[in-house]
Amino acid sequence: MWNLMMQPMMRWYYRRSYEPETLLADDFSPIPEVYRLCTVPWIASCTPVCQSTALQMIAGHYGLNQPRRYFDFLMGFTYGASDMPGVGFFPVGVDPEKGLKEAAPYLGLRCRYLVTDDQDLYLQALHHFLALEFPLRVPLDMGILYGVQESIPHNEVLIGYDSRGFEYYEPVCRAPANCRPVHMQPGEIGLYVPNERLLKAVEKESTLFKYPWRYILTYLEPGPRATDLKPIWQRNGKALIGGTNFGTHYGATATLHLADQLEKEASLVDLEKLELSFEIAAHVRCENAAFMHEMNGHDSRLQTAATCFEQAARCFEESLYILQHSFTGIAQTHHLASQLRAAAAAEETAGHIFLDLAAA
Q: How many CB atoms lie within 10 A of CB 260?
A: 13
Out of 50-54, 273-277, 349-353, pick the least confident: 273-277
Q: What is the mean pLDDT of residues 12-18?
A: 92
Q: How far is CA 178 from CA 41, 106, 147, 175, in A?
A: 19, 33, 11, 7
Alpha-carbon distance of 293 to 287, in angstroms, equals 10
pLDDT of residue 247: 80
DSSP assignment string, 263-288: HHHGGGS-HHHHHHHHHHHHHHHHHH
- pTM of the shown model: 0.94
**pLDDT tens digits for 136-187?**
999 999 999 999 999 999 999 999 999 999 999 999 999 999 899 989 999 9
pLDDT band at 2, cuts 50/70/90? Answer: very low
